[in-house]
Amino acid sequence: MTDRLLATYRVAAPHESARARAEALAAEQSVEMPVSAIRDERVLAEIVARVEAIRPVEGGFEADIALASTTTGMEASQLLNMLFGNCSLQPEVTLERVAFPPGYAKAFPGPRFGIAGLRELVGAPSRALTCSALKPQGSTIHHLAGLARTFALAGIDIVKDDHGLANQAYSPFAERVVAVQKAIDAANDETGGRTVYAPTFSGRPRQLREQLKAAEYAGVKAALVAPMLIGPPSFVEFREEAGMPILAHPALGGASRIAPPVLLGTLFRLFGADATIFPNHGGRFSYSRETCLALCDAARGPLDGLAPILPVPAGGMTVDRVDGMLAGYGTDTMLLIGGGLLSAGDALLERSRDFVARVHAFGNHP
Amino acid sequence: MTDRLLATYRVAAPHESARARAEALAAEQSVEMPVSAIRDERVLAEIVARVEAIRPVEGGFEADIALASTTTGMEASQLLNMLFGNCSLQPEVTLERVAFPPGYAKAFPGPRFGIAGLRELVGAPSRALTCSALKPQGSTIHHLAGLARTFALAGIDIVKDDHGLANQAYSPFAERVVAVQKAIDAANDETGGRTVYAPTFSGRPRQLREQLKAAEYAGVKAALVAPMLIGPPSFVEFREEAGMPILAHPALGGASRIAPPVLLGTLFRLFGADATIFPNHGGRFSYSRETCLALCDAARGPLDGLAPILPVPAGGMTVDRVDGMLAGYGTDTMLLIGGGLLSAGDALLERSRDFVARVHAFGNHP
């Protein structure tokens, strides 16, 4: 069975019909035709997905389905197709877990930097990292560069664009990255700090390539990309071409009925993210604490030798939650506070310094 | 208000809290920070999304939210980001409808061929079109080419790859398209028919470009692509580069809590599909008849001058449903029957001819 991925689906359907429903799901996610009409013995033995186990759960059942590795073509879009292509159209089905056979993940790029690479980049060997965001979109480049300077003076490790900053007329990518990077470089020179800027890359493959050139020329050292917005295979290609750590943003990714630890944890890591931003429990979004912890495990736990990546809880977080978050997630974490700093207005520098001080004070151990 | 898109969201939340919840959603989908902390008057007036209307509906409320066109950067990934990026992470929110301001859609490629172009390609000026699929994946190229020959002899208009046929070792794209196109060309020569082959394009942007070259060299005249698997902006780039009609496949697209008429109808059309495959009611999937009809309207109705595109109902369809489907959808439709033909086994040619005869017999008017 070492040539098979084990995908666990949850199906909201009566347990009496579980066997037939699971067999139908296995056909849907592999040959997509009546198995009885297949005469090729090799296809029946090696291609048709197999139902390995069925367990009753509240509201339905869970089925472990073994998908042949070869059907995924060892490529991101086809892997998603096999895991959740057609059954995405069946609202009673969710993808809960996936386990790859040994060696499978190595066919994918995986993180180039991971936690260790990000720590080296910002010069923080053991404490948790800090991150904030340039907002709101629609602001002038001058305003965004001013915010970036303030965050850098406060010693925040990574200053990222709001993921809504794309290539709009009011702050075009090419001009924005030059101005913001310059503001951060100047602040770093003054403080001796190592703040890194991560602009949002978005758009079509050719646009991504142009943005990468412009960013590298401007001295940019990290990237923010939403894999589900540009598409997972385009994300993989970006990872291949970009020589910088990539923060994955979950935009459009929460809707997919793929459990967040699988999509934002395992799959984004497989596709090459070095850090993964997710909506923390207790903020504007509804992930549970258990979901968030499972996502951290997927990001940092063993995965076929791939480097662990940084979980980045975010979404309505505030400075007074720093200790609680670090106690829960440990220090191999980057805390992202955006609106919670920006709402300080004229006191932005002070509140940003307070954020940094609290994270540093928490120390190096969870 | 002509510079705004009007997006209608359905929110499963108490109607008492509707105003506050809608305002929060408007902020989430535009500036993503507390509006009270924004001082730039231009951002407040021109960028922050506005709640235009709130209506109670069963289980919650609907809110019309006006998004500034400029925030979408007139680009596919950023349009999706503004429409459903962050709120995809809020399971109580669905995107129900979207209306573009006049002229907005013209910034996107839209369909190059549309219904008229597809009709011309297969020489069918007014009747409904027929489509079948090469399955199962895992079959040898020889087997797939044999199926294609049979479908072409039967006079099926478009023979598409199963969307699970990617670039796997057992039937690599470059070899497959040559063999299948050759089989179809030979059958067309024998019958005087005009069957067209639409292989599945998938993978990273560079791989798509290589596949396009190989397909064009082999004489391929149509393409099957799943926009949500490769990513909408990659799909747009494919549309720009491919000089052939594109059938959009809904894989991974059903999970998104964006209403199917919006995603598979309006948005796929905007991004450049010429035909859109969707799960018909009464098959293996759970779309209602109303959803299917609304999807057809979105595909074929007025959209800022963009060509109408072919709706392609599919998913567990059989030959005996032909009349009912055409009576419901009209003849500006392509019927796709895959497994329902393949299950005929040795009688595949006969059943395929029966499918074609029934569609032709239905005539030219709904």
Task: Specify the DSSP class assigned to residue B122.
Answer: H
Which residues of chain B neighbour A233 with C-beta distances below 8 Å? Answer: 202-205, 207, 229-231, 234
By Cβ distance, the residue of A38, A46, A136 closest to B31 is A136
By Cβ distance, the residue of A71, A139, A206 closest to B40 is A139
Q: Which CATH architecture has domain A114-362?
A: Alpha-Beta Barrel (3.20)
Alpha-carbon Rg of chain B, whole angstroms?
22
Q: Do B36 and A343 touch (CB under 8 A)?
A: yes
Structure confidence by residue, pLDDT tens digits, B256-276: 688 889 888 998 999 999 999
Helix, strand or coil for residue B37?
Answer: helix
Of A21, A83, A27, A78, the C-alpha closest to A50 is: A27
Strand A223-225 and strand A246-248: the pairing is parallel
ipTM of the complex: 0.90
Share of chain B above pLDDT 90, in %: 80
For the cut 80, the answer to whether the pLDDT of residue A284 exceeds it is: no
What's residue A304's pLDDT? 86
Average pLDDT of the residues in A252-273: 85
Contacts of A17 (CB under 8 A, 6+ apart): none
Alpha-carbon distance A366 to nearest alpha carbon in chain B (angstroms): 28
Task: Specify the DSSP class assigned to residue A122.
Answer: H
Backbone angles phi, psi at B200, to 5 degrees: -80, 125
What's residue B319's pLDDT? 95
- Which part of chain A has CATH 3.30.70.150? 4-107
Strand A50-57 and strand A60-68: the pairing is antiparallel
Is domain A4-107 classified as CATH 3.30.70.150? Answer: yes
Alpha-carbon distance B233 to nearest alpha carbon in chain A (angstroms): 5
Q: What is the average pLDDT value for chain A, to the nearest integer?
A: 93
Backbone angles phi, psi at B243, to 5 degrees: -95, 35
Lookup: tokens for B166? 């990617």
Please give the Cα distance from B231 to A251 (Å, whole number): 13
Write the CA distances from B146 to A37, B11, B171, B190, B352, integer angstroms.
16, 50, 14, 15, 14
Alpha-carbon distance B192 to nearest alpha carbon in chain A (angstroms): 30
Which residues of chain A neighbour B134 with C-beta distances below 8 Å? Answer: none
CATH of B114-361, one of 3.20.20.120, 3.20.20.110, 3.20.20.70, 3.20.20.140: 3.20.20.110
Structure confidence by residue, pLDDT tens digits, B319-364: 999 999 999 999 999 999 999 999 999 999 999 999 999 999 997 6
Average pLDDT of the residues in B290-303: 94
Alpha-carbon distance A365 to nearest alpha carbon in chain B (angstroms): 31
By Cβ distance, the residue of B71, B170, B226 closest to A81 is B226
By Cβ distance, the residue of B38, B70, B236 closest to A168 is B70
Structure confidence by residue, pLDDT tens digits, A45-81: 999 999 999 999 999 999 999 999 999 999 999 998 9
What's residue B2's pLDDT? 60
> Helices H, strands E: what count in chain B?
15, 12
Task: Specify the DSSP class assigned to residue B201.
Answer: P
For the cut 80, the answer to whether the pLDDT of residue A366 exceeds it is: no
What's residue B255's pLDDT? 60
By Cβ distance, the residue of A38, A137, A206 closest to B47 is A137
Query: Where does residue A46 rank: exposed (0-12), middle (13-18), buried (19+ CB within 10 A)?
Result: middle
Structure confidence by residue, pLDDT tens digits, A97-119: 999 999 898 888 899 999 999 99
Q: Do B43 and A136 touch (CB under 8 A)?
A: yes
What's residue B258's pLDDT? 84
For the cut 80, the answer to whether the pLDDT of residue B98 exceeds it is: yes
Please give the Cα distance from A168 to B74 (Å, whole number): 8
Give the pLDDT band (50/70/90) at residue B1. Answer: very low
For the cut 60, the answer to whether the pLDDT of residue A29 exceeds it is: yes
Of A260, A252, A181, A168, the C-alpha closest to A215 is: A181
Average pLDDT of the residues in B241-249: 94
Write the CA distances from B117 to A2, A154, B275, B364, integer angstroms.
47, 59, 10, 17
Give the pLDDT band (50/70/90) at residue A1. Answer: very low
Please give the Cα distance from A174 to A191 (Å, whole number): 26
Q: What is the average pLDDT value for chain B, to the nearest integer?
A: 93
Report the top-level CATH class of B4-105. alpha beta
| CA nearest to B46 within chain A | A138
Structure confidence by residue, pLDDT tens digits, B22-65: 999 999 999 999 999 999 999 999 999 999 999 999 999 999 99
Structure confidence by residue, pLDDT tens digits, B161-219: 999 999 999 999 999 999 999 999 999 999 999 999 999 999 999 999 999 999 999 99
What's residue A117's pLDDT? 95
Structure confidence by residue, pLDDT tens digits, B110-126: 999 999 999 999 999 99
- Helix axis angle for A322-329 and A348-362, nearest 10°, is 30
Which residues of chain A neighbour B21 with C-beta distances below 8 Å? Answer: none
Please give the Cα distance from B214 to B81 (Å, whole number): 33
Structure confidence by residue, pLDDT tens digits, A168-205: 999 999 999 999 999 999 999 999 999 999 999 999 99
Helix, strand or coil for residue B329?
Answer: helix
Which residues of chain A neighbour B109 with C-beta distances below 8 Å? Answer: none
Write the CA distances from B315 to A63, A87, B261, integer angstroms.
22, 11, 17
Which residues of chain A neighbour B38 with C-beta distances below 8 Å? Answer: 136
Which of A81, A209, A285 to substitute to test the interface with B, most B CBs within 10 Å? Answer: A81
Alpha-carbon distance B207 to nearest alpha carbon in chain A (angstroms): 10
Angle at A9 between CA A4 and CA A14, to 5 degrees: 135
Alpha-carbon Rg of chain A, whole angstroms?
22
Lookup: tokens for A285? 């979004």
- Helix axis angle for B205-218 and B173-191, nearest 10°, is 30
